[in-house]
Structure 1
Amino acid sequence: MDVRGGEDVTGGSGAGRKVHSEDMAVEVPETAHQISNDSWLQAGFVLTTGVNSAYVLGYSGAVMVPLGWIGGVVGLILATLVSLHANALVAQLHEYGGKRHIRYRDLAGRIYGRRAYSVTWGMQYVNLFMINVGFVILAGNSLKAVYTLFRHDHVMKLPHFIAIAAIACGLFAISIPHLSAMRIWLAFSMFFSLVYIIVGFALSLKDGIEAPPRDYTLPEKGADKVFTIIGAAAELVFSFNTGMLPEIQATVRPPVIGNMMKALYFQFTVGVVPMYSIIFVGYWAYGSKTTSYLLNNVHGPIWLMTVANIAAFLQSVISLHIFASPMYEIWIPDLESKEVLWPIRNLSFRVVVRGGYVATTAFVSALLPFLGDFMSLTGAISTFPLTFILANHMYLVAKGNKLSPLHKTGLWLNIGFFGCLAVAAAVAALREIVVDSKTYHLFADI
């Protein structure tokens, strides 16, 4: 028996391994990734990295501009609270039925059956793929912003920078075997996040103080306004997208539920402060003229803006690997447990599979580089179902006999509300993509 981090482990690394968690023997499924290896704080940093990814540079324009001060502030606070509630529900089901459910689809399959396993798997990977498309677009935008700081010839365009970003993402993906191996890179990720958030905040604050009064009126009218507001609502919940919570919780040491709740409280308190700061000051400084990439609005020393954009690029590379890790896990044989760190078979497998995935992601990113539209569509077709509808319904089914009538009613209301919002948001997002596709050609230089 091996005692590691407070966990009693019986058996090998494959199927049938047992851990003793909170005085209960819990079965751990077979996986190539490490289980029960990380502290709650590391999991909290993984979650916080997602919240403060380079996507935060787009929320001032994508959320605040269409919603305004009242709608944006109230909506963001409500999105924070309902996201914490939904993620807490999923976290509490991690050991449902005496087995650790280390994948979202495993949990859904245990509660509903085989068909739900497949449907959840599909939704989750659509969700993660579209998130990663956004990260590649962000990385490409960051590199393009650096280029335009020094040259104005427009020889290199956004698709070129997306290709460069894809190469960097592919090399990083090949180098990092699994999520637990991200330790030092999480520190780098938080550092890079603080760099572009602090620089963006400081330069926006300077611009806002020096600028004349801004226009905060909502830009759209009539039916366009309705669709834009619905799309912005989808982007609100996208900012807290954790459609891979069981995969992150799988890395946490026992007691896994208690430690995961600590990580979630860290994410939704300390973790959201930088995001809130950059969103609100960005909108305050530029009003309705705020763009979907805030660093394109700011003015300041070229060297400082260069540093901020490079930090956004590097953070996007790291974040993509975090959100792609469930994709990699299903394609990786149990090679990571070998004593040799870089066996030829292992390395070649990573190059082909991970490199192919990143190349596919980059192609879609360059083909349709409409970042705001992708955020809306991702929120509609996968974030709402996974993070809100499914989370509430799974908890209702799993804990139904133990819940009060009032609690059950609240869960059903959540399911109905987010179901209707998901349909409306999907229609709004598809409409925006069609509109933008008429305005911009494929492989557009946005």
Structure 2
Amino acid sequence: MTITQSSFSIEDGKYDDDGRMKRTGTWFTSSAHIVTAVIGSGVLSLAWAVAQLGWIGGTIVLILFSLVTLFTSILMADCYRYPDPIHGTRNPTYMKMVQNILGGIQYKFCGLAQYTNLVGCTIGYTITGSISMVAIKKSNCFHKEGHLADCKISNYKFMAIFGIVEILLSLIPDFHELSWLSILAAVMSFGYASIGIGLSIAKVAEKGHHVTTSVTGIAVGVDVTSTEKMWNTFQAIGNIAFAYAFSNVIVEIQDTLKSSPPENQVMKKSNLTGITITTFFYALCGLVGYAAFGNKAPGNFLTGFGFYEPFWLVDIGNLFIVIHLVGAYQVFGQPVFSLVESWGNKRWPQSKLVTQEYYVKIPLVGTWRMNMFRVIWRTLYVIFTTVIAMIFPFFNSVVGLLGAISFFPLTVYFPIEMYLTQAKVPKYSSIWIGMKLLSWFCLIVTLVAAVGSIEGIVTDLKTYKPFHSS
């Protein structure tokens, strides 16, 4: 519902001074939002990433990305209001912030980066969801038929099932109606990460456990060639970057905070709390996972527990992943849906296909608000992402590429450029030069990670047999 100037009164306590609904968020709620936004499917590849980098390299890269993310998120906190960080006009979304501070060309670049990342994430979630469904099927097959049974299972059927579920959920018209799904997904992410950590600790503690680990990771000439080591290292950096990428929603999280105390002060505290908790969690998943599996750590560490015992706990962990990704797909897909539907309404305002709403009563569910354009467009989008996932079912390479694409522009470049403009930092001053150097360093890291991930996809394609069981 659109609120007009005459439909609210500031004095009634329901609205802020700019006419929007009054915000009630606190340091605690925003810290919780950050933790649930950051901890996602990227956590599954951290043990593999540490295996490529080793104890020293893996630890350094984990800490480095956490510090860079914390630093740039603090910069963004001061850009929430513009031109003054305390009394300026609110920027409720990331793209609005870029538009107001940096202008039109940068705004378009931001939109391209942000929506490419959103589409890429929905494809990645389809791949990951199917992998976990296959893991459940294999686990039960081995438990029933024995550890030597032939339990080859195709991912494609499960990708199709995942896609059908997403088509049904995407027919829910408004994002706010999916809050229950988002909360459920957040709980699931904590659940499967905790199960993975617990199983890893148990594996390390079990009698006779011995795996090969080293300070430099997988060994050249033993595990991989020198070229493969280089590409895997690049790809691992991208995977860790993807695990920390939450810039898509950071502005929206800050927009939930009460205006007093000042939002930027509360958000800085929340960023420190949320990223510290996340880094601790990631260190457990990556380092304990590496200790459990060594240089043979799988791309998705929850699928690496042999598919055997305790098969029921592994099944629960993978089920949690599936439920989480079903919800995460909608969280990342809804902004894409809204973008195209808003464009359609402006482009064809007289078309009944685009604008006409129908109310359909569904027993035990309620009234469904149906729009034909929405139904057709969202169904085609889910089909598109499912088909792309079937063509490129390479979990680690895809995750690394997504991390590379999104990390530099959304987590580093725009926050730094907006802060330099907002704070009116003098050109060529020590602060200006330091931030520019950080930006260039992160650009190089991003390009290296992207190249490594693309090479991984190309390598996988050479041995890839479409629609074969694995």
Give the shorter-chain TM-score range.
0.7 to 0.9
> 1:116: which partner in 2?
106
Partner of 2:46: 59
Say if 1:369 and 1:444, in contact at 8 Å, map to a contact too. Answer: no
1:346 to partner: Cα distance: 4.6
Q: Which residue in 2 is equivalent to 1:395?
A: 419
* Aligned counterpart, 1:215: 212
Residues 402 and 56 from structure 1, CA distance in 2 versus in 1: closer, same or farther, beyond 3 angstroms? same
**Aligned counterpart in structure 2 of residue 200 of structure 1, from 193, 196, 201:** 196
Runs of 5+ consecutive residues of structure 1 not aligned to the other structure: 11-17, 20-27, 29-33
Q: Please, which of 31, 54, 74 is the counterpart of residue 88 of structure 1?
A: 74
- 2:159 corresponds in structure 1 to 162
Q: Which amino acid aligns with 2:32?
A: F
CA contact (8 A) 2:425 2:431 kept: no
TM-score (norm 2): 0.80
Alignment pair present for 1:305 and 2:314: yes
- SS in structure 2 opposite 1:385? helix
* Counterpart contact for 2:426–2:432, Cα < 8 Å: no
Amino acid at match of 1:148: K
Summarize deviations over 1:82-111 as a string: whole Å, max 9, x none: 111112222321222343323322222223
Match for 2:233: what amino acid? I
Gaps of 5+ in 2: 1-7, 142-148, 346-354
Change (3 A) 1:196 1:209: same
Secondary structure class of the residue paired with 2:277: coil
Q: Is the 2:124–2:395 Cα contact (8 Å) retained in structure 1? A: yes
Indicate which of 97, 107, 111 corresponds to 2:97: 107
Q: 1:436 to 1:401 in 2, by over 3 A?
A: same
Deviation at 1:35, TM superposition (A): 8.3
> What's the secondary structure of 2:16's corresponding residue?
strand
Q: Does the C-alpha gap of structure 1 residues 331 and 36 become closer, same or farther in structure 2, counting only changes over 3 Å?
A: farther
1:433 matched to 2:450: no
Q: Report the CA distance shift for 1:445/1:376 in structure 2 as closer, same or farther (over 3 A).
A: farther
Do the aligned partners of residues 352 and 106 (structure 1) sit closer, same or farther apart at CA in structure 2, a change above 3 Å counting?
same
Moved more, 402-411 or 355-364: 402-411
**Alignment match of 2:437 (pick from 408, 413, 430):** 413
Shift of 1:240: 0.9
Q: Which amino acid aligns with 2:91?
A: H
The match for 2:350 is none
Correspondence 1:44 to 2:31: yes
CA spacing shift, 1:354–1:239, aligned 2, 3 Å: same
Q: Say whether the 8 Å CA contact 2:182–2:331 is kept in structure 1.
A: no
Would the alpha carbon gap of residues 296 and 5 (structure 1) be closer, same or farther in structure 2, given more than 3 Å must change?
farther
How far has the Cα of 1:265 moved from its partner?
2.7
What are the superposed Cα offsets for residues 53-75 of structure 1, whole Å, 9 maximum, x if unpaired? Answer: 233122111x1111011110111
Alpha-carbon distance in structure 1 between the residues aligned to 2:22 and 2:426: 30
Partner of 1:241: 245
Cα separation, partners in 2 of 1:76 and 1:307, compared to 1, 3 Å: same
**Residues 301 and 346 of structure 1, relative CA distance in 2, 3 Å threshold:** same
Aligned length: 422
Aligned to 2:286: 279
The one-letter code of the counterpart of 1:399 is A
Letter in 2 for 1:74: I
Deviation at 1:227, TM superposition (A): 2.5
Equivalent residue for 2:298? 291
Question: Aligned equivalents of 1:123 and 1:416: distance in 2?
Answer: 17
CA drift at 1:417 = 0.7
- Please say if residues 189 and 324 of structure 2, whose CA atoms lie closer than 8 Å, have aligned partners that are also in contact: yes
TM superposition shift of 1:139 = 0.9
CA deviations 1:112-162 (Å, max 9, x no partner) are: 322222121111111111122111111111111111112266575101111
- 1:31 equivalent in structure 2: none
CA contact (8 A) 1:249 1:260 kept: yes
Q: SS of the counterpart of 2:174?
A: coil
Three-state SS of the structure 2 residue aligned to 1:213 is coil
Partners in 2 of 1:437 and 1:47 — Cα distance? 36
Shift of 1:297: 1.6
- Identical-residue share of aligned pairs (%): 26
